[in-house]
Structure 1
Amino acid sequence: MKLTCLGSGSAGNCYLLHNETECLVIEAGIPFKEVKKALDFNISKITGVVVSHEHGDHAKYLHEYIKGGIPIMAPSMERVTGALSAVSKPFSVRTFPLVHDVPCTGFLIEHSEIGRLLFATDTEYVRYRFKNLNHILIECNYSQDLLSKSYHDGLQERIKLTHMEFGTCKDFIQANKSQELKSVCLLHLSDRTSDEKIFQEEIQDLIECPVYVANRGLEYEL
């Protein structure tokens, strides 16, 4: 099974977990037509879509999936979508709350081909620890040093309360790493307040498995 990144950041977020016959779409912040292209227009293999929260860069195109009759799991948006349902097997999806300025949800996704995959973005921190994770997709939005140089105090405080800082991301990975961990992917890096090279190198020093940065077009085997 592969992970494909179609977007990660304020311009739009969308990730695909897919093999030849199955696909789970994570986030609906990219036009559905882009997902169709990435799947060679074989949309029948989409088993469902999971969406973390209502902000447009994560949920703008959710209505296109609803219109297409694709199962939706967006627990933080029940009043908005009105069309929630559990995502069908072979993917098992469990949720946990995150810390953002609107209700926001993380996902623990299991599949026989990949084991246990954690997805968490747009959150100040994750308050839980998880055992035996095989893959981690985690926000690494900004560094405190770059943030203080880039924005006024009011915006700095909002970002601190709604997105994950580099050091917090490192702490989370350190607390949840295990011998079973096979990959880490850093999500939602800010254009102005992150340093991709430093983030990737320093987190790679913490773990033995590959560390990826979720730039548009990234694809790797899980």
Structure 2
Amino acid sequence: MALYISSLNSGSNGNCYYIGNDTDAVLVDAGISCRETEKRMKRLGLNMRKVRAIFVTHEHADHIHGLTQLVKKFNIPAYITTPTLHEGKLKMAEHLIQPFAAYSPMAIGTLSVTAFPKLHDACDPHSFTVTDGQVKVGVFTDIGTPCKHVIHHFQQCHAAFLEANYDDEMLDNGRYPIHLKNRIRGERGHLSNAQALRLFTHHRPEYMSHLLLSHLSKHNNHPQIVEDLFRRNARNTKIVIATRYEETPVFRITKPVQLTEKKAQPDAASLQLALF
């Protein structure tokens, strides 16, 4: 059993994440155009016809830009809360709109998807975990503070897309106005490198094999800073930077094999002594 994952794009110019197995797949967010989504999946050898649903985290344009066209062209249902649908002013065929509730697992073919609330400056933001019953992958982006919901689900993931949006020093010294800086680093803004690292080092399970660092700011972060910071603390977790310019490779996520410890067998001399 395995899940295959890729970031098709990650950043303020558009977010879209692929998670699937051999028969079924889902997208989390559709923030790049339908054409670009198809092009990137084709380059990766991923089949758009396997995508059974698109899950929407919130209504910001970099998460919904390509949604209506993908839904219409491929007849794929969009799983979206009613407030997010209305706030995003999205027009889709009614039969392709699927509202969802937090903590109610949704069966998508052979996959199960669970939504959970998070802190972000949107009307009704959620994140998601996807599992095939053996392996679990989570999407943890657009988060101001790692609340108990985020921590709980992060602790269960074999792989995760985790936001590392800004470097504190770059944000402080950057050209953004103070009100925007405060919004970014606020309780309902984005995760800094330091916050993301703290979540990773304090709460990752030992079996987390891949961490895809996502939603890096173009102006307030740098991939090399993030990569160096996390690789120093990675242990056995593969660190990948999900960029705003291209798709990542497809990664195969599996459940680690549990090795049973063999009991030591007594040698002949020990066995003889035990008889007396």
Same fold (TM over 0.5): yes
Aligned to 2:250: 220
CA distance in 1, matches of 2:241, 2:41: 21
The answer to whether residue 56 in structure 2 is matched with residue 51 in structure 1 is: yes
1:203 is paired with a residue whose SS is helix
Amino acid at match of 1:38: R
Deviation at 1:144, TM superposition (A): 1.2
User: Equivalent residue for 1:74?
Assistant: 80
Q: 1:20 to 1:117 in 2, by over 3 A?
A: closer
Structure 1 counterpart SS, 2:234: coil
Counterpart Cα distance in 2 of 1:139 and 1:165: 8
Does residue 204 of structure 2 align to residue 177 of structure 1? Answer: yes
Whole-angstrom distance in 2 between the partners of 1:178 and 1:205: 17
Question: 1:58-97 maps to which residues of 2 (within 5 A)?
Answer: 58-67=63-72, 68-75=74-81, 77-79=84-86, 80-81=89-90, 83-85=97-99, 86=106, 88-97=108-117
**Identity value in percent:** 23
- Number of residue pairs the alignment of both structures matches: 221
Q: 1:148 is matched with which residue?
A: 172
Query: Counterpart amino acid of 2:114?
Result: R
TM-score, normalisation: structure 2: 0.73
**1:64-96 deviation digits (Å, cap 9, x = unpaired):** 233242122223624355612555132211111
Determine if contact 1:48/1:87 at 8 Å carries over to the other structure.
no
Counterpart CA distance in 2 for 1:87 and 1:3 is 18
SS for the counterpart of 2:84 is helix
Deviates more, 1:67-76 or 1:192-201: 67-76
Q: Which moved more, 1:83-92 or 1:123-132?
A: 83-92
1:200 deviation in Å? 1.4
Q: Which residue of 2 aligns with 1:34?
A: 36
Deviation at 1:156, TM superposition (A): 0.7
**Structure 1 residues without counterparts, runs of 5 or longer:** none
- The answer (yes or no) to whether the contact 1:73–1:87 under 8 Å persists in 2 is no
- Give the superposition deviation at 1:17: 1.9
Matches of 2:23 and 2:110 in 1, distance apart?
A: 11
Question: What is the RMSD computed on CA atoms of the aligned residues?
Answer: 2.1
Q: Which runs of 4+ in 1 moved over 6 A?
A: none
SS for the counterpart of 1:49 is strand
Q: Tell me how far 1:20 sits from its aligned partner.
A: 4.5
Is contact 2:162–2:214 with CA below 8 Å preserved after alignment? yes
Q: Which SS does the other structure have where 2:13 is aligned?
A: coil
Match of 1:120 in 2: 140
Residues 207 and 31 (structure 1), Cα distance of their counterparts in 2 relative to 1, 3 Å cut: same
TM-score (normalizing by structure 1): 0.90
Tell me if structure 1 keeps the 8 A contact 2:40–2:247.
no
Q: Given that residues 16 and 28 in structure 2 are in contact (C-alpha distance below 8 angstroms), is that contact kept between their aligned partners in structure 1?
A: yes
For 1:95 and 1:58, how far apart are their aligned partners in 2? 16
Q: Distance in 1 between matches of 2:9 and 2:28?
A: 11
In the TM superposition, residue 205 of structure 1 has moved relative to its aligned partner by 2.2
After superposition, what is the alpha-carbon deviation per residue over 1:19-39, rounded to whole angstroms, capped at 9, x for unaligned? 443221111101122232334
**CA separation in 2, counterparts of 1:195 and 1:66?**
34
Structure 1 equivalent of residue 239 of structure 2: 211
User: In structure 2, what is the equivalent of residue 157 of structure 1?
Assistant: 182
8 Å CA contact retained: 2:139, 2:160: yes
Q: How far apart are the structure 1 equivalents of 2:250 and 2:49? A: 22
Match of 1:199 in 2: 226
- The answer on 1:107 being equivalent to 2:128 is yes
The 3-state SS of whatever aligns with 1:219 is coil
